[in-house]
Amino acid sequence: MRTLLGSLFLLLFTFSSWAQQQPLKNSNYYELRIYTAHPGKLQDLVSRFENHTRFLFEKAGMENIAYFLPNDPDENKLYYILGYPDVESRDQMWQKFLNDPDWKKVYEESRKNGPLVQSIQETFMVPAPGLNEKSISGNSGIFQLRIYTCFDNKLPNLEKRFKDHTQDLFAKQGLINYPYFETVEKDGSQPKLVYLLGHQDLESFEQAFSNFIKDPDWIKARDESEKNGKIVEKVDAVFLKTLPFSSIK
């Protein structure tokens, strides 16, 4: 019996780890949504997601990828990522969700003491080609969401540098590579590169990233990749922590 239970535990653990390490296996189109809560309403918003919204998303066919709060407690926001089979399904699923009587009931009950959400920011994304082939190596206590704006026509150069060098050099310093995305720009402009990077805590992350920046292998790769000009125009970054119900950890 003990051997059987041990085997079952190992099987469940292996399955759980595998599922966690393959976050982009089911969807082809993604959405990063950032909700700014009304003052004093962030915890109510989180509770609504934890107890109701995420289950109703699944009911409508969406995939819950990740849920985060900013590491800075003064930033009154909820970050999350959803997955869909394709762009057409996204709109159909949202209509199904918004018209669900269960959602309408939850929504109205949660607003009895005032609305929860002040504003919503949406970013549509697809997996970055060639940058999601490595499995995720563990869990993290802190994440950084990083968004790269490239100079014109330089995104392929950036993605090649990540594939050939940067991802491995991050891992060399103990940083964990999470999913990589390209944004879908409705105006047809060049996509941005969006990705998540993790470590055990903020101090470890900052030390590891400092070591990465000073790594001679990184300096060599960066300089060689920029022989024909700079690649990255701007980097936006924010530290995040996962919520307990997030699939990505």
Work out the average pLDDT over 17-31. 71
Q: Phi and psi (nearest 5°) for 176?
A: -105, 125
Are the C-beta atoms of residues 54 and 157 closer than 8 Å to each other?
no
Let me know if 199 is exposed, middle or buried by CB neighbors in 10 A (0-12, 13-18, 19+): buried
What is the average pLDDT score of the chain? 92
Work out the average pLDDT over 150-166. 98
Task: Please report, as a single letter, which amino acid is at residue 99.
Answer: N
Architecture of domain 26-126: 2-Layer Sandwich (3.30)
With H, G, I as helix, E, B as strand and everything else as coil, classify residue 119: strand
Low-confidence winner among 8-12, 46-50, 66-70, 118-122 (lowest mean pLDDT): 8-12
Are the C-beta atoms of residues 116 and 38 closer than 8 Å to each other?
yes
Give the whole-angstrom CA distance, residue 169 versus residue 162: 9
pLDDT tens, 94-150? 999 999 999 999 999 999 999 999 999 999 999 999 999 988 878 999 999 999 999
Q: Which two tokens stand for residue 180?
A: 């990589």
User: What pLDDT does 85 receive?
Assistant: 97
With H, G, I as helix, E, B as strand and everything else as coil, classify residue 150: strand
Are the C-beta atoms of residues 30 and 82 closer than 8 Å to each other?
yes
Q: Where are the beta strands (DSSP E) in the chain?
A: 29-37, 63-70, 77-84, 117-127, 142-150, 176-183, 193-199, 232-242
Q: How far is CA 29 from CA 86, 91, 224, in A?
A: 5, 11, 33
| DSSP code at position 72 | S
Work out the average pLDDT over 196-212. 98
pLDDT band at 6 (very low <50, low <70, confident <90, very high): very low
Q: Do domains 26-126 and 128-242 have the same CATH topology?
A: yes
User: What pLDDT does 11 receive?
Assistant: 40
Beta strands at 63-70 and 77-84: parallel, antiparallel or unpaired: antiparallel
Architecture of domain 128-242: 2-Layer Sandwich (3.30)
Residue 19 has pLDDT above 70, yes or no: no
Question: In the chain, where are the structural domains located?
Answer: 26-126, 128-242
User: What pLDDT does 112 receive?
Assistant: 96
Low-confidence winner among 19-33, 92-106, 181-195 (lowest mean pLDDT): 19-33
Instruction: Kindly report whether the global pTM for this prediction surpasses the value 0.85.
Output: yes
Let me know if 92 is exposed, middle or buried by CB neighbors in 10 A (0-12, 13-18, 19+): middle
| Residue scoring higher pLDDT (160 or 25) | 160
Work out the average pLDDT over 160-175. 98
Q: What is the CA radius of gyration of the chain?
A: 20
